[in-house]
Amino acid sequence: MKDFFQKIRIKWILFILAFASIGYFMFEINKLITQLRIEEKKKIEIWASAISRKAELVEHTDKFFNQVKEEERKRVEQFIEAHTIILSQPLDKELDFYFRFVSENRTIPVIITDEFNNISLSQNVDIPKDYKVLVGDLYKEFSKNPPLVYNVYGMKFKLYYTESKVYTDLHNVLVDLSNSLLSEVTDNSVNVPVVITDSTRGHVLASGNIAPIKLENKNLRSTLLKMENSNKPISITLPNKKYAFIFYEQSSILTALQYYPIFFIIILVIIIVIAYLFFWTVKRSEQNSVWAGMSKETAHQLGTPISSLIAWVEYLKLNSENESMCNEISKDINRLETITQRFSKIGSTPELVKQDLIPIINNSVEYLRTRSSKKVRFDIVLPQDKAIILPLNSYLLEWAFENLCKNAIDAMEGVGVFRIELIDENKRIYIDISDTGKGLHKNNYKKIFETGYTTKKRGWGLGLSLTKRIIEEYHDGRIFVKTSSLGKGTTFRISFKKNDL
């Protein structure tokens, strides 16, 4: 008993040391993951800051672009005013300033026509000599902006113009900035899931690092709400006064890092379980080998003296005066032969034969009834009108029932009620073995079946372990403590499957 608790204590110490080591390792892993998470978070914050600044640059460029466009519009209007003055004033009047204003236009492409689109003046435009009317591709190009109409002495003029090279270059720069902004947002190097929507948040302009299914109409709102709860959306202004929002959340790497400790714990638990099962299997195999070897050796050692005793009994029977003595000795020899059979069966795979369970129970009880105190009352509740046929090994099963009955009688210390009840249900047979002894603490319900555990001063801790092996491993049944109360008694339950028939 002392050795058993010593082993339990060593197991707990090893268990605590193992978990302490795992805890320290998990602490270090978690610290490393936390550092990586902080670094990843900083990268995302730097990315978001850079996107915000570039969005501001696009917005300022767009404003400047619009200012240039407005300035060119004003110059065109001033061009019309100068042209009107030149046409409306006498030729001898001093008009050098206006002539210079008109002639020094070197940037804005301009075509002036009459009301029928007959070309009367052009600047900064390559027009063929025989090209007199504004039509075709040239007309389409200069019709992007609506013509400015004005009158001079009743004559109607129309001024067509397109953007200057400066304006076009600025426009290309703005388009490049806008496209690069969207590409940098959607194809970012930090793997951030991003969605760019319009001002209504109902239309997706661009997206990156996110599953398309999340952007479907039924899922878009919940996706944007989740992103908004993670990070505040970045508001940007795209060209042509298009307002948009950039929604983003933490990267897939950062998300994976959050679940990595859980994943690691699961893997660790699986490894521990596999290791435990491996060592348990090895231990079980060793125990089986010990059981088999010990049982076979015991059966072999008992065989020789039993044979000798049988011979001596036959010799004593030659004298009629020894008949009664020989009968008693023969009973003990038969008992020894039964024990030998039990050891030989448990040392190998026993043969199961379909037979009635009730006589096996009765034989076990009757054997102990004659050897127990008269103050122990036996209540045996078994079916009397039918047989319970199961595949059994009578030698081993009698041994199991004897162990249970003997433990129950010992627990009552010679005074009390011993009861066996068989319950026949649809799919299983239940056998309840009860006593009115000292009972068990709930913590010991499973321990009592462990090899070496015993509450008796002179016990070996093998009886219930052997019983469990016979019931569960050899007969595919189950045995457990059904109920127990300190000072009131214990009930063991054995169950067998009926579908094995």
Model pLDDT for residues 31-74, shown as the tens digit of each residue? 777 777 677 667 766 766 766 677 777 777 777 777 877 887 88
Beta bridge partners of 232: none
Q: Please state the φ and ψ torsions of residue 190, each to the nearest 5 degrees.
A: -100, 10
- Closest to 476 measured CA to CA, from 392, 384, 382: 392
Residue 475 in 3-state DSSP?
coil
Here the tokens at position 415 are 């005074």
CATH topology of domain 350-497: Heat Shock Protein 90 (3.30.565)
Residue with tokens 């099962």: 277
Q: What is the CA radius of gyration of the chain?
A: 51
Q: What is the largest CA-CA distance in the chain?
A: 177
In this structure, are strands 242-248 and 204-208 parallel, antiparallel, or unpaired?
Answer: unpaired
pLDDT score of 501: 44
Beta bridge partners of 118: 133
How far apart CA 413 and CA 33 sit, in angstroms, is 62
How far apart CA 22 and CA 398 sit, in angstroms, is 48
Q: Give residue 404's identity as a one-letter amino acid code.
A: L
How far apart CA 296 and CA 343 sit, in angstroms, is 6
pLDDT score of 341: 65
pLDDT score of 314: 74
How far apart CA 234 and CA 245 sit, in angstroms, is 6
111 near 142, Cβ under 8 Å? yes
pLDDT score of 241: 54
pLDDT score of 480: 92
Q: pTM of the full predicted structure?
A: 0.44
Positions in the chain short of pLDDT 50: 1, 4, 500-501
- Closest to 197 measured CA to CA, from 231, 244, 236: 244
Q: Output 397-400 pairs: Cβ under 8 A, ≥24 positions apart.
A: 397/357, 397/360, 397/470, 397/475, 398/338, 398/342, 398/360, 398/363, 398/364, 399/342, 399/466, 399/467, 399/470, 400/466, 400/467, 400/470, 400/471
Dihedral angle, C-alpha 34, 35, 38, 40, nearest 10 °: -100
pLDDT score of 181: 64
